[in-house]
Each structure stands twice: as C-alpha cells, then as structure tokens.
Amino acid sequence: MADENRVLVTGGAGFVGATLVRDLVTSGYAVRVLDNYTTGDAAHLAGVGAELVEGDIRDDAALAAAMAGVQAVIHLAAAGSVVQSIEDPMTNFDVNVRGTFGVLNAARLAGVERTVLASTGGALIGDALPPVNESSLPKPISPYGASKLAGEGYAHAFAKAYGLRTVALRFANVYGPWSARKQGAMTVFFRAIHSAEPIVIYGDGSASRDYTHVDDIASALQLALECDVPGGTVLHIASGVETTVRELAHLCCEAAGAPGHPVEYRPKRPGEVGRNFASYDLAKSMLGYVPSINLDDGIRATWRWYQESVFTP
C-alpha cells in the first residue's frame, strides 16, 4: 500500500537533491533517497529527516525495493557531464538510458503513476537559434544530450503504453549551494579564483547559457510532482536570460571581490553547444513556475556558500 505522502528521489544526495529533499521534507513529504554516492554524498542530507538507501538505478532489485510503498518518483540520478559523455559514451548510456528505463519500468511494476524526470535543454536540443522551447527540434551534439532525449522518449512511451503520469523537466544550467561536486563552469571558476589560478574558458567566451538557481529548479520539481498535468509532458525550466561564459566569469569575479582575476582562453571543446537559453512560458502556464532569483544575487549567495562550506578549512 503506497503512502500518499511518500516520495522516492533517485540521486537525492546530489546537488539538486540536497535542496529538493529539504523542500519536500519541509512540505510534509516522507522522502526516501536512492543514491550510489558516485557524485552525491550522504552528508548533504545529514539531519534532514529523509530515509537514505544506498543503491544503483541499474540494479533492478534495489529499484524494486526502493519503490515499495511510494506514491511518486523524482528521478535525478544521472551521469551529467557533456565532456565525460564524449570520453566514455558507454557509461553515459548505461546510467542515463538503461538507468532511466529501469526507473520507469520499476515504477510501472510497482504501480507508481507519477514520475518526474530531470532532463536537459541545451545539450538535448543542440545548436539552435535561442530561445528554445518545447517545440524546438532536438538535435543533440553529445552522447549526454542523446541519452537525455532517449530518456524523454521512454517516459513518453511509458505514459502512452502504460498510463504512467510522466513529466520531464528540461533544466537550464543549474547553480547554487551543494554544487561543489558539480563539474560546471561556476564551480570551476570559483575554485580557480579561490586557488589564485587563471579562470579557463574554452572558446572565445561568446558561448552562452541559461543559468537557473537550484532553488527555482527544486520549486519546479515539486510543482511537477503536485500539479495535474498529462503523462508524457515535457517542460523547460529556465530563467529565460542569456548569459555568455565571458559575462559569467566577470560576475563570478565581482562576487568574489576579485574583478581583475586573470582569464585564460583555450580551444573550444567538442560536443558543447554555442548559444542557449530557453523560454519557460509553458512551465509557467502548466505549473505556475516563475524563477525567483536573478543571476547577480544568486552568484553572490553561491560564492558565500562556497566560502563557508567548501573553502573554509
């Protein structure tokens, strides 16, 4: 018998999960976390009051046990690096495609209707004239983007074939607290500033992204969990603001009080999208999602978190 307030969060000890699980517990949910701690850390959820289960989404038995008695699943567990997906596409496929299939199939077998999946916007759609939206034609240029597109495809198929109420949220570039293990630009820039090494930018700095604070991402995940939207829905969760990598480096330096910090430019890496930002109009109309944290304030708060939680001896 499923507990109407019990939610399983795969990868819940990771970056996004650390904020989301706190929000869910505060909202009165009983939260079970399934995480293999490859990039997550049980310490992220110390004292939060969630049930922590160590296990891998590629382990059918672990998934079946984790699904027992839950009403819904939020699937965050993933191999999330574009660069690593190019270096090792097989592992990326194994985690993101086979693992996501396993989560959906375990939900089907356990009779869990609502599954919210973490997807991606830029890497999945590839090079396209922004702002992108749910009607943009996906043409991924990295194995990571392709793996997320495959996950969305299975989510839609399970919705239509088995009646699962799946919702895939295409995240913009997420930043904020608990991101020390994330291999994103902001983390790398902050570490370079802290260690007095040059910030490295691949390409000429004109590549752009849509940076969205983790608090807004977590809010969207909970809205997708609670709102009555049709199975197979796909939504972009973003800020709608285009920021170049050069601008991001400047904002990080300003937030850290190091406006003259050196920047080193290196050749562009394969598989990385040139320009990307997204419209969140459909998420606004279907979920009531509206981002609440602007980039300047968010970066300053994130730098303070790094100083207090990562760079403090």
How many folded domains does the chain comprise?
A: 2
Q: Are residues 36 and 56 in the same domain?
A: yes
Q: Are residues 267 and 197 in the same domain?
A: yes
Pairing of strands 233-237, 165-171: parallel
**What Å distances lie between residue 6 and 57, 82, 105, 173, 258, CA to CA?**
18, 33, 19, 28, 45
Predicted local confidence at residue 1, as pLDDT: 47
Residue 1 lies in a domain: no
Predicted local confidence at residue 206, as pLDDT: 96
Q: Are residues 143 and 200 in the same domain?
A: no
Q: Are residues 131 and 192 in the same domain?
A: no
Which is nearest to 139 in space by CA: 147, 127, 157?
127
Q: Are residues 197 and 131 in the same domain?
A: no
Residue 170 lies in a domain: yes
Residue 195 lies in a domain: yes
Residue 180 lies in a domain: no
Q: Are residues 56 and 156 in the same domain?
A: yes
**What Å distances lie between residue 36 and 165, 203, 219, CA to CA?**
26, 34, 24
Interior angle at CA 105, CA 217 and CA 169, nearest 5: 20
Predicted local confidence at residue 216, as pLDDT: 98
Residue 179 lies in a domain: no
Provide the annotated active-site residues: 144
Q: Are residues 82 and 42 in the same domain?
A: yes
Cα end-to-end distance, the chain, whole Å: 47
Rounded to whole angstroms, the Cα distance separating 114 from 163 reads 10
Rounded to whole angstroms, the Cα distance separating 190 from 185 reads 9
- pTM confidence score: 0.96
Predicted local confidence at residue 147, as pLDDT: 98
Residue 82 lies in a domain: yes
CATH of the domain at 193: 3.90.25.10
Q: What are the phi and psi torsion angles at 74 (to 5°)?
A: -115, 115
**Structural domain boundaries enclosing 127:** 6-174+212-240+282-287
Residue 10 lies in a domain: yes
Which pLDDT tens digits describe the chain residue by residue (313 residues)? Answer: 456 799 999 999 999 999 999 999 999 999 999 999 999 999 999 999 999 999 999 999 999 999 999 999 999 999 999 999 999 999 999 999 999 999 999 999 999 999 999 999 989 999 999 999 999 999 999 999 999 999 999 999 999 999 999 999 999 999 999 999 998 899 999 999 999 999 999 999 999 999 999 999 999 999 999 999 999 999 999 999 999 999 999 999 999 999 999 999 999 999 999 999 999 999 999 999 999 999 999 999 999 999 999 998 7
